Every structure is written in C-alpha cells, then in structure tokens.
Amino acid sequence: VVGHSQGEIAAAVVSGALSLRDGARVVTLRAQAIGRSLAGRGGMMSVALPVAEVEARLEAFEGRVSVAAENGPRSSVVAGEPEALDELHAQLTAEEIRARRVAVDYASHSPHVEDLHDEILELLAEVAPRTSEIPFFSTVTGDWLDTTVMDAAYWYRSLRGRVLFADAVRDLIAADHRAFIEVSSHP
C-alpha cells in the first residue's frame, strides 16, 4: 500500500502497521494541533505543472511558498503564506496554467509545520507501530518501509516534509506493479 499525506495514516492502518486506535490518534491529534497553531496562517494550491517548473517559479517568492507534494508528472501542490499563494495563482492563471486553491487555511508539508515539532512528538508518543502485514511504500522516505519506525517522529516528518507520491508511483511501476486502486472520499 501507499498513501498520500493524511491518506498515509489510513494506509498504515490497512497494512497493519498501526492499530485502528493509533491511526485515529494520529489523525485526530495532528488535526487538533494544526487547528490550534497553524489555522489561518497559510494555504495550499494545486498546480498543473511539473515540480521542476514550479520550483523555478517559487524562487521569486523567497521562501514564502514551497512545494508540498509532487503528485504526478504535471501535478504539484504548493503551500505557504496566503498572500504569496494569491500572487502565484494570479500569475499562473494569467498564463492559462491550471491552479486551484485547496480548501484549507494552513500550510501542511511546509516550514510552517516546524512550529508543531515538539507538540506532535509529545502528542503521538504513545503510538506503537508494528510490522505491517502488507508491504508499505512510504511517501515520506520514498522507499519500502519497515513500518516499526512509524512512531511520533515519523508522523511529524509526514506532516512537515514533501509528499513523494509521484516518486512512489514511478518506483512501484519500475518494480512491475501494474494495477493501482485509489481509495478516496472523493469520486
């Protein structure tokens, strides 16, 4: 299994790496910490460009916006300050490049999350990862994962770091995986 951002928590439960209780703990306590500390300070936006092109455009924003996820060859997500995202959105749409704000008011997978480091480690200290029953490909490390390392520090890195989803799919295809089933709350 492989998961994207918060979906990686669901994938960890499905694989057997986390109990349902621990998965719920990670989802709930991380979301509460985000709500207390990050809500209203940031945003996210999907951009229909390759990540290298997005990174080149972000140089003009001097660290105010960063790449949050690489979802595919021409699908990236950025996160950062709301005003900077608005500027970037205006630039992209003026060039007829599809850009869509994600309906959140925080900047996951960005430097904003660093404010939560100690709190996340404390809140999730009780999480007890175990060896998964189903092989788990991590979008945090970009490789197959010994799931016993999915402790509080792992879940902090999952929230702070770039989501390596496109890399995961490429590597799975290279390993001769050919059928992918997406399970999502969205159609």
Contact 128, 22 (CB under 8 A): yes
pLDDT of residue 183: 85
CATH of domain 43-102: 3.30.70.250
pLDDT for position 187: 60
d(C-alpha 126, C-alpha 19), whole Å: 12
The DSSP element (H or E) to which 45 belongs, if any, is strand 43-47
Per-residue pLDDT tens digits for 18-76: 999 999 999 999 999 999 999 999 999 999 999 999 999 999 999 999 999 999 999 99
Residue 165 has pLDDT above 80, yes or no: yes
User: pLDDT tens, 83-97?
Assistant: 999 999 999 999 999
Question: What residue segments make up the domains of the chain, in order of their start?
Answer: 7-38+111-174, 43-102
Give the CATH superfamily of 7-38+111-174: Malonyl-Coenzyme A Acyl Carrier Protein, domain 2 (3.40.366.10)
pTM (global) more than 0.95:
no
Amino acid at position 6, single letter? Q
Task: Assign 154 to helix, strand or coil.
Answer: helix
Q: Residue 182: which pLDDT band, with cuts at 50, 70 and 90?
A: confident
Angle formed by the axes of helices 51-58 and 82-94, to 10°?
Answer: 120
